[in-house]
Structure 1
Amino acid sequence: MASKNNPESHVEEESGQHGGVQSVDRALAVLEILARDGHAGVSEIAEEMGIHKSTVSRLLGSLVSREFVHQNSDRGKYQLGFGILRLASSIPGRLSLVREARPVLESLAEDFKETVNLAVHRSNYAVNVDQAMGPSMLATYDWVGSLTPLHATSSGKVLLAALSADERNRILTETGLPARTPRTITNRGKLENELINVARNGYGVTLEEFEIGINSMSVPVYNHLGAVIGAISISGPAFRFDPEKEPGLVEGIKEAGLQVSAKMGYTRR
């Protein structure tokens, strides 16, 4: 503790506090970069943040130790880890949503032989909190814990469509509409029209907008107050999976969304 006779100790204490806050701020900036880009290397992060690579390495090391970040051994780049999912899942109500939705996700995946995900809105992203894999050998990617852009995914479109105009404007102003593929919607007016259709139709669709070769469809999950608390999506390879043309899919996924919503206290209107 600083004393009147030793003013330097007070300066050191303030300096230490400032350094700690700066480290936290930088660590959060690293997480935001990885959430936005999907993966990045030490040099890329250091260049964007304008700090030395050794500082980035120390930050990543700390985040890896807590499983907030995972290093891809094949390319040496870093991506978000399962620690992020633990934080998201600790929010009240989210764990019960995952538990109640699980059998419905599995049934939907079995019926349509494709991958089914449950996503919730966190900050400016959609985070996938559970997944049921279809039987196809092509359905092998684990999306659990992944933070995905709201404008480029079917779940994200459903979650965006449920927000107030002011909240949606805030998010899209902060994130922009970066292109993930040549088919990503990057025009604000076009996206708003798309969201009107999502609200009208009760489902959202993406056709290779987040990842080339992947199509998806998503529906909302409601709570007892009728507020959207999540989104169920089904996705598959574009060469065989066209969501709106898949026999029975629109009705099937809508019913799945209503089943989970009923478990969360929602009354059909």
Structure 2
Amino acid sequence: MAARINPDIDKDADAQGGGVQSVDRALQIMEILARKGDAGVSEIAEEMGVHKSTVSRLMGSLVSRELVRQNSERGKYQLGFGILRLASSIPGRLSVVHEAREVMEALASEYKETVNLAVLRSNYAVNVDQAMGPSTLATHDWVGSLTPLHATSSGKVLLAALSADERSRVFKAVGLPARTPRTITNRDELEKQLLDVARDGFASVHEEFEIGLNAVAAPIYNHTGSVIAAISISGPAFRFAPEDQPGLIDALREAGLTISAKMGFRGR
């Protein structure tokens, strides 16, 4: 049975805590509505451990700003369209390059190889940022480079996120040309590999784009769960074999999720 709440004590707590406590409680209300879909004042008050009058007071403010609305038929409350207005302004203001920078630098420092950030543009993977490892061999600047989707680790991550029809349009436009003798140029073979990429959450290439270069990449998601970019680590084949380096792939996938969280992603 829920503890009985004294409304006067609850009001005193509000006064002592000031506006910060009211903001925190208003956010709690919206989190409850987001989780439940809809809920009544009594139900919300019981879950929060506050008096109904507190919830009613906060609900009035949220309704006036269209962050919450009341279902006229059932009397319960739901999140309102004001939430959508606020949310829609976020993605355009977030820069994946900005949000990824610190994570990329940490990876480059830890694994001492080159870390790239790539996005899908005009049927190619475009490298939009790069963090260099301390190795003297990691000197190539990939920023701005257009790289083929089917022959790069970032490209395969981006391809795996597309529908079959979208991939068909890409392949029809640019084909599957061989960059090296190791490039996969068979559509069926590539499609099987992309299924593994989608399942495992990473893609690796061994000298498929350039002889002597290996790489591994993981996806970055936005607030809707769509793949918007890929983060990769690459290095010379003679010393860089990502599958054989303990913890590297897990660290890369975790880096992708860390950046994704900064972009509003809430899944795992």
Normalising by structure 2, we get a TM-score of 0.65
- Give, in whole Å, the separation in 2 of the partners of 1:94 and 1:110: 28
Q: Which runs of 4+ in 1 moved over 4 A?
A: 92-95
Matches within 5 A, 1:74-93: 93=92
> Structure 1: which 5+ runs fail to align?
1-91
Match of 2:250 in 1: 251
Match of 2:161 in 1: 162
The AA in structure 1 aligned to 2:131 is A
Match of 1:189 in 2: 188
1:199-223 per-position Cα deviation (integer Å, ceiling 9, x unaligned) = 0110000000000000000000000
267 and 95 in structure 1: CA distance in 2 versus 1, 3 angstrom threshold: closer
- Give, in whole Å, the separation in 2 of the partners of 1:142 and 1:95: 24
Question: How far did residue 93 of structure 1 move?
Answer: 4.3
3-state DSSP class of the match of 1:177?
Answer: coil
- Give, in whole Å, the separation in 2 of the partners of 1:160 and 1:192: 9
Pairing 1:105–2:109 present: no
The AA in structure 1 aligned to 2:151 is A
The AA in structure 1 aligned to 2:162 is L
1:123-182 per-position Cα deviation (integer Å, ceiling 9, x unaligned) = 110000000000000000000000000000000000000001111111012111000000
Matches within 5 A, 1:163-242: 163-242=162-241
1:1-50 per-position Cα deviation (integer Å, ceiling 9, x unaligned) = xxxxxxxxxxxxxxxxxxxxxxxxxxxxxxxxxxxxxxxxxxxxxxxxxx
Count, aligned residues = 178
1:234-257 per-position Cα deviation (integer Å, ceiling 9, x unaligned) = 000000100111111011001100
159 and 94 in structure 1: CA distance in 2 versus 1, 3 angstrom threshold: farther
> Structure 2: which 5+ runs fail to align?
1-90
- Structure of larger gyration radius: 2
Identity of aligned pairs, percent? 71
Q: Is the Cα contact below 8 Å between 2:225 and 2:267 reproduced in 1?
A: no
Match of 2:263 in 1: 264
The AA in structure 2 aligned to 1:127 is V
Bigger shift: residues 92-101 or 257-266: 92-101
Normalising by structure 1, we get a TM-score of 0.65
- Give, in whole Å, the separation in 2 of the partners of 1:255 and 1:205: 16
Q: Is the Cα contact below 8 Å between 2:94 and 2:263 reproduced in 1?
A: no
Match of 1:5 in 2: none
